[in-house]
A and B are shown apart, each in its own frame.
Chain A
Amino acid sequence: MRKIIFLLGFVLLINTSCEKDDFCLQNPITPSLIITFYDDVNRETPKNVRRLSIIAQSKTDSLFTNSASDSIAIPLNSLDTKTVYVLKKNDADGTRANNQIATFTIEYTPQDTYVSRSCGYKVTFNNITFSKDTNSWIKDFTPNTSTTIDNQNAAHVQIFH
Chain B
Amino acid sequence: MQHMYKFFISTCLLFIFVDGFSQQKKDTIIDSKKDTIIYKSAYGLRVGVDISKPIKAQFDGSYSGFEIVGDYRLSKRFYAAVELGFEEETTQEDFTNSTAKGSYIRAGFNFNAYKNWLDMNNEIYVGYRYGFSVFEQTLNSYTPNVNNQYFPSNTVTTPITTSGLNAHWSEIVLGFRAEAFENFYITFSGSYKILMSVKDPDNFKSLFSPGFNRVFESGTGFGFNYTLTYLIPFQKK
A40-48, A96-104, A119-127, A134-142: which lies at the interface: A119-127
Residue A16 lies at the interface, judged by CB distance under 8 Å to chain B:
yes
Residue B182 lies at the interface, judged by CB distance under 8 Å to chain A:
no
CA distance A128 to B83 in the complex (A): 53
CA distance A30 to B147 in the complex (A): 7
Contact residues in A for B150 (Cβ distance below 8 Å): 56, 59, 61, 63, 75
Residue B220 lies at the interface, judged by CB distance under 8 Å to chain A:
yes
Contact residues in A for B203 (Cβ distance below 8 Å): 112-114
Shortest Cβ distance from residue A44 to the other chain B in the assembled complex, whole angstroms: 31
Interface residues of B in 142-201 (CB under 8 A from A): 142-148, 150-151, 153-154, 156, 172, 174, 190, 192
Interface residues on A, range: 35 or more
Residue pair A119, B95 in contact (C-beta under 8 Å): yes
Given the interface pairs A24-B145, A30-B144, A120-B142, the reply to whether A9 lies near B220 with Cβ below 8 Å is no
Contact residues in A for B153 (Cβ distance below 8 Å): 78-79, 123
Chain B interface residue count, CB cutoff 8 Å, equals 32
Given the interface pairs A19-B216, A116-B205, the reply to whether A121 lies near B145 with Cβ below 8 Å is yes
Residue B19 lies at the interface, judged by CB distance under 8 Å to chain A:
no
Residue pair A27, B147 in contact (C-beta under 8 Å): yes
Contact residues in B for A114 (Cβ distance below 8 Å): 203-205
Given the interface pairs A15-B222, A75-B151, the reply to whether A123 lies near B146 with Cβ below 8 Å is yes
Residue A1 lies at the interface, judged by CB distance under 8 Å to chain B:
yes
Residue A158 lies at the interface, judged by CB distance under 8 Å to chain B:
no
**Residues 69-83 of chain A: 1 if any B CB is under 8 Å from the residue's CB, otherwise 0?**
000000111110001
CA distance A110 to B232 in the complex (A): 62
Contact residues in B for A117 (Cβ distance below 8 Å): 93, 96, 205, 207, 217
A-B contact pairs, 10 of them (CB 8 A): A1-B113, A4-B126, A8-B172, A19-B218, A20-B218, A24-B145, A30-B144, A76-B151, A121-B142, A121-B143
